Amino acid sequence: MRLLPRRLLSRIMLLIAILLAVSIYASLKIFDYFDREPRATAAALQAVTIVNYTRASLIASHENRRLALLSELSGREGVRVYAADFLEDIEALPSDPFISLMAQKIRDKLGEETIITVNHYDIPGLWISFNVGQDDFWVVIPKIQVDRPFPWHWLGWAAVVGLLSLVGGYLLTARINRPLTMLVHAAERLRNGEPAPKLPEDSVEELREVTHTFNEMAESLARLDAERTLLLAGVSHDIRTPLARLRLAVEMLPQEADYMKHGMIEDISDMDNIIHQFLDFVRGVEGEPTRMMDINDLLRALSERQLRAGRELKISLGPKYFIPIRPLAMQRLLDNLVGNAYNYGKGKVEVRSQVMADKIVVSVLDNGPGIPPEHAERLLRPFERMDSARNKYEGGSGLGLAICNRISKLHGGQLYLLNRPEGGLEARLSLPILPNT
């Protein structure tokens, strides 16, 4: 959940980069398409002018002077004139749209019989044929860039524009992402039962209303939780006093009523346990500091407490590993899980711990009837019970598992209720191993 904003930012930046690359490529192709026609026309006009000038010079000269004139023309502007033999092998023009368009425009001016090739005899330039009487000639024009170079300067400008756009996109995305990150963290705290901090409402216009609504919701939840806590704590405290008097009165009944006293005392104890769960639930455990502990130490202490209560708890411990734990809260969680296992099981309870790659798993196993799988998540909510499925024990308020679930989330973990293949229920607590531990 906490990594969502960073992944969202990366995806947005990747999308911006892809869109920029596509738009720059499309812009270059469009520019090339619309620029091709005028460039080809200008190049063709230059070539036609040179050919016509050369042909006119040769026609105007005496036949005996043509060789000298050819030599003189070949020395000007790099243009060269060669005698042609059209029985020679002439390569076709390269499949370049610009060269094909320019060649077509030259033929439109000089005639369709004009032969045009490129880099003939490995001599670079544009080769254009013409004739003077019965004689055939080549004009080689090297200064017209028929082999158009790749526009690296445009690519450089495109890179600058793309970089500036990415920087602007990053700043804009970060501006939007900051309130989103704070909103996610605040929602995470609410989900774990912790009070959410008030979010600043000076974010971008599109998120301001969302932030304002979230703050109002968090305040309403905090007021509701405070009122519920006050109500449950007050009622529980007020009920305990008459219960204590009632128990004292029952203890003072005459011995003839012993058969009644035992049942009444058990009922009073059940009511006291329910009130104790109410107080545990409203008291919370958020204020307890964490300590680096090995959870196996808590499991050994749990086994000793159960042994003093006349119960034999089987424990199988994994390797020692220290993680940040709230000791009293974790002790309450383990006591509740083991107490549930004894209440709903058939007297055989086992606790296992194991260290995995990224988490520590504690399993509390019983041999009771289990629960319907579709009700596993519902039983982790407050005041939810499933006595019809695990019908051995009728007491309780439905808060024990809710308290366990709250404590597991407070430690960044998860609590699962799983039916065992061999029968019974597994309450599996998964606690993350933090990198800095």
Confidence tier at 322 by pLDDT (50, 70, 90) = very high
> When comparing pLDDT for 42 and 315, which is higher?
315
The pLDDT value given to residue 369: 86
Contact yes or no for 287/265 (Cβ under 8 A): no
Phi, psi of 130 (to 5 degrees): -155, 165
Percent of the chain with pLDDT over 70: 72
Confidence tier at 63 by pLDDT (50, 70, 90) = low
The pLDDT value given to residue 394: 47
Residue 4 has pLDDT above 60, yes or no: no
Confidence tier at 3 by pLDDT (50, 70, 90) = very low
The pLDDT value given to residue 133: 77
Strands 80-83, 414-419: pairing is unpaired
Confidence tier at 197 by pLDDT (50, 70, 90) = confident
Whole-number average pLDDT of the chain: 77
> When comparing pLDDT for 289 and 254, which is higher?
289
Average pLDDT estimate for 330-346: 87
> When comparing pLDDT for 3 and 251, which is higher?
251
Angle between helices 205-251 and 258-283 (to 10 degrees): 160
pLDDT digits (tens, 9 = 90+) for 37-55: 788 888 888 888 888 888 8
Residue 23 has pLDDT above 80, yes or no: no
The pTM score is: 0.47
Confidence tier at 83 by pLDDT (50, 70, 90) = confident
Tokens of 291: 């300590």
Confidence tier at 27 by pLDDT (50, 70, 90) = confident
Average pLDDT estimate for 302-316: 88
Average pLDDT estimate for 404-432: 90
Q: Where is mean pLDDT largest: 57-71, 269-283, 290-304?
A: 290-304
Using CA atoms, how far residue 369 sits from 364, 376, 380, 405, in Å, is 15, 14, 18, 21
The pLDDT value given to residue 390: 46
Q: Where is mean pLDDT largest: 33-42, 53-62, 70-79, 112-121?
A: 112-121
pLDDT digits (tens, 9 = 90+) for 229-278: 676 666 666 676 777 777 777 777 776 666 666 677 767 776 776 666 66
Three-state SS annotation for the chain: CCCHHHHHHHHHHHHHHHHHHHHHHHHHHHHHHHHHHHHHHHHHHHHHHHHHHHHHHHHHCCHHHHHHHHHHHHCCCCCEEEECCCCCCCCCCCCCHHHHHHHHHHHHHHCCCCCEEECHHHCCCEEEEEEECCEEEEEEECCCCCCCCCCHHHHHHHHHHHHHHHHHHHHHHHHHHHHHHHHHHHHHHHHCCCCCCCCCCCCCHHHHHHHHHHHHHHHHHHHHHHHHHHHHHHHHHHHHHHHHHHHHHHHCCCHHHHHHHHHHHHHHHHHHHHHHHHHHHHHCCCCCCCEEEEHHHHHHHHHHHHHHCCCCCEEECCCCCEEEECHHHHHHHHHHHHHHHHHHCCCCEEEEEEECCCEEEEEEEECCCCCCHHHCCHHHCCCCCCCCCCCCCCCCCCCHHHHHHHHHHHCCCEEEEEECCCCCEEEEEEEECCCCC
Cα torsion 388, 392, 397, 398: sign:
negative
Residue 350 has pLDDT above 90, yes or no: yes
Residue 353 has pLDDT above 60, yes or no: yes
Which of 53, 48, 44, 120 is closest to 83 using CA atoms? 120
The pLDDT value given to residue 235: 67
pLDDT digits (tens, 9 = 90+) for 356-407: 988 999 999 998 888 888 888 888 876 666 554 444 444 555 677 888 888 8
